[in-house]
Amino acid sequence: MDRVSYALGMSVANNIKASGVKNLKVADFAAAMEDVFAGKECRLGTHEAQELLNGFFRELQQSQIREMKEDGEKFLAENGRKEGVVTLPSGLQYKVLKEGKGTKPTAERKVKCHYEGKLINGTVFDSSYARNAPAVFPVNGVIQGWVEALQLMNEGSQWELYIPYNLAYGERGAGESIPPYAALVFKVELLEVL
């Protein structure tokens, strides 16, 4: 049972850490575990403990949102000063890696693209290159930053896009990979206008 107990402790600790809790008083945590498992009276009532945790996680989430926004704004401000980076009035930034000679798609057209999406810390969250399968989609069926950029690209172009959160997935994020308020970086290759 020692190994199972340790494994349960690891699992709980990993879940707590993944939720964004950076500091935990392990002695108090262990005391609560002991009190509950021994059937002793706990220092906090169930309702009081739940209210305390709700407030703590609400504050933690707000802090994470502020940090994500600030990190994105700082990244885009610094990135916008780099050579070759163009900043559009919307806040979208791009750098031309390769200029194509083909036509530019309109919002109603479909396109075939290869792409790689990353968070500003470099974490890749999606890549058609990794799947070795370009994506086909309508220009107006993707995030706003892509809609704007694709209509400026010539077929055959490859650009790197730097997208502020409000032109990406906004305050909702996307799944487990893209947190709310995340600025994103995409390498996009416009293979074909369909």
Positions annotated as catalytic residues are: 115, 125-126, 143, 169, 186
Q: What are phi and psi of 119, to 5 degrees?
A: -75, 165
**Cβ–Cβ under 8 Å, residues 113 and 142:** no
Which residues, in sequence order, are CB contacts of 67 under 8 Å at separation 6+? none
The SS3 assignment for 25 reads coil
Q: β-pairing, 85-87 with 93-98?
A: antiparallel
- Spatial CA neighbour of 162 closest among 95, 111, 81: 95
**Which of 150, 105, 147, 142 shows the shortest CA–CA distance to 126?**
142
Question: Which residues are CB-contacts of 98 (< 8 A; sequence separation ≥ 6)?
Answer: 156, 157, 158, 189
Say if CB 158 and CB 78 are below 8 A apart: no
Q: Which residues, listed in sequence order, are joined to residue 38 by a DSSP beta bridge?
A: none
The runs of H, that is alpha helices, within the chain are 2-18, 26-38, 46-79, 128-131, 144-150
